[in-house]
Amino acid sequence: MMAANGKKIWMDGRLVDFAQAQVHVLNHTLHYGVGVFEGIRAYPTARGGAVFRLKEHVARLIASAKFYHMPIPYSAEEIERAIVETQVANHTLPSYIRPLVYRGEPALGVKNLKGKVSLAIAVIPAKKYLGDGSDLGVRAKISPFRKPHSDALPSFAKAAGNYLSSYLAGADATQDGYDEAILLDQNGYVAEGTGENVFVVRDGTVYTPGLESDILLGITRDTALRIAADLGYPTVQKLISVNELLSADEAFFTGTYAELAPIRAIGHYPIGAAAPGPVTREIMDTYHRALRGEIPKYEEWLAPVPGLARAAPRARS
């Protein structure tokens, strides 16, 4: 669960106090789910605070908004600057950054395309999200709720309304005592978690579903694919059956908030010998070092935040 608190929220160009960040109860986004958003993280690095893959998140936000007929009245550069400004104003690291594009004025009627399009950016303290706080792996459940087909709700756009199926799947898994749900696509292939992409490892090859499984094309997914390839593991994007998942050597989730979380069991079925398996461990360690600016070739993924604290040097194991 995320702690929803911060100091300041950026709303259409103004930094307002957290408690004053309000919109009208009859706003279009609240009633019909027509809003798009991002989840971004910032971390302490040896050179100060940095937002991870800021450009890619802002590009996805703009693409999602465009698809939903909500042109954002700011350029990519202006949004990036606003995110950094909000991060500085909140002065918390590591943080979770939530930009939201919405129509905030009172306007009932689902076909409304005219209401003012607004942008809000919140920054809240970030914690570990999945599991017991260790890296020993999470228990997931195959959800009875499937991902909506992209003919109905295109999965490439990170739209608020897409999260109804994530919500149902997550509520079901949580009430059954699991850490997370895995949703299948309409054809019964593995799609994704409620807020994560899914990877499996078999015989040293790293597999993950592609867009045809109605997934969000996660930025952490892209990060993990790049790291896995750089480490010398073949990577394959393909349809993944439940059978392939249950019999995998290793499996893990990727997501901005979940980061890279090993999966130790699906339902009653343990995955591999012990989580994290060796390939997951190597990708996860590299990912964590990349986030902290410890690997020069991945520094391009870090957008510096001026004036924020440096990370204390980590003890090497």
Ligand X SMILES: Cc1ncc(COP(=O)(O)O)c(C=O)c1O
Check binding of 99 to ligand X (CB under 6 A): no
Q: Which of 65, 157, 216, 291 binds ligand X (CB under 6 A)?
A: 216
Query: Is-catalytic flag, 158?
Result: yes
How many Å apart are CA 67 and CA 258, to the nearest integer? 26
- What's the closest the beta carbon of residue 107 comes to ligand X, in angstroms? 26
Of 7, 8, 158, 238, which is the active-site residue? 158
Among 135, 179, 180, 196, binds ligand X (CB under 6 A): 196
When the beta carbons of 6 and 255 are compared against ligand X, the nearer one is: 255
* Segment contacting ligand X by CB under 6 A, of 102-110, 192-200, 226-234, 237-245: 192-200
Segment near ligand X (CB under 6 A); pick from 98-106, 117-125, 188-196, 232-240: 188-196
Q: How far apart are CA 225 and CA 148, in angstroms?
A: 25
Cα 121 to Cα 80, 86, 102, 148: the distances in Å are 11, 7, 11, 28
Residue closer to ligand X by CB (options 156, 233) is: 156
Matching residue, tokens 């004036």: 307
Nearest to 280 by CA among 219, 233, 246, 216: 233
Indicate whether 87 belongs to the interface with ligand X (CB under 6 A).
no
Contact call for residues 8 and 75 (beta carbons, < 8 A) = no
CB of residue 165 to ligand X, shortest distance in Å: 9
Q: What does the per-residue mask of binding to ligand X show for 248-287, with x meaning CB under 6 A? A: ------xxx-------------------------------
Taking CB under 6 A as the rule, does residue 197 contact ligand X?
A: yes
Residues 151-170 that bind ligand X (CB under 6 A): 166
195 binding ligand X? (CB under 6 A): yes
Separation of alpha carbons 269 and 113, rounded Å? 48
Return d(Cα 266, Cα 6) in angstroms, integer: 35
Select from 8, 139, 141, 221 the one that contacts ligand X (CB under 6 A). 221
Of the candidates 50, 62, 219, 248, which one interacts with ligand X according to CB under 6 A? 219
Q: Which of 9, 28, 35, 39 binds ligand X (CB under 6 A)?
A: 39
Nearest to ligand X of 28, 221 (CB atom): 221
Min dist CB 19 to ligand X, Å, is: 26
Task: Give the catalytic positions in this structure.
Answer: 158
Residues in contact with ligand X by the rule CB under 6 A: 39, 166, 192, 195-197, 216, 218-221, 254-256
